[in-house]
Amino acid sequence: MAPPNAPQGSGAHPRDPKLALPVADAAGWGPLDVRAVDTVRLLAADAVQKAGHGHPGTAMSLAPLAYLLFQQVMRHDPADDQW
């Protein structure tokens, strides 16, 4: 039986947001950061579905790493296209 907050008629289980808390806490992330990572994960799954083949597992699992690198390690200047 699906949890009470699962979409009716689907076998999908909603993601428990507390699952991301150990990683988010260790990185010092807030709710907006966790939502950004979750959005990247969904976009990875959508891209695979649109292509009609492939597996989103790697992109979904590396989303937190990519977010961490882009937010805290990489230095970039969106105004400078030659950076």
* Whole-number Å distance between alpha carbons of 53 and 45: 11
Per residue in 19-75, pLDDT (tens digit) is 666 777 778 888 999 999 999 999 999 999 999 988 888 888 999 999 989 888 888
pTM score of the predicted model = 0.64
Query: What confidence tens digit (pLDDT) does each residue in 7-16 have?
Result: 454 556 676 7
Q: What is the dihedral of CA 20, 21, 27, 30, to 10 degrees?
A: 100
pLDDT at 20: 64
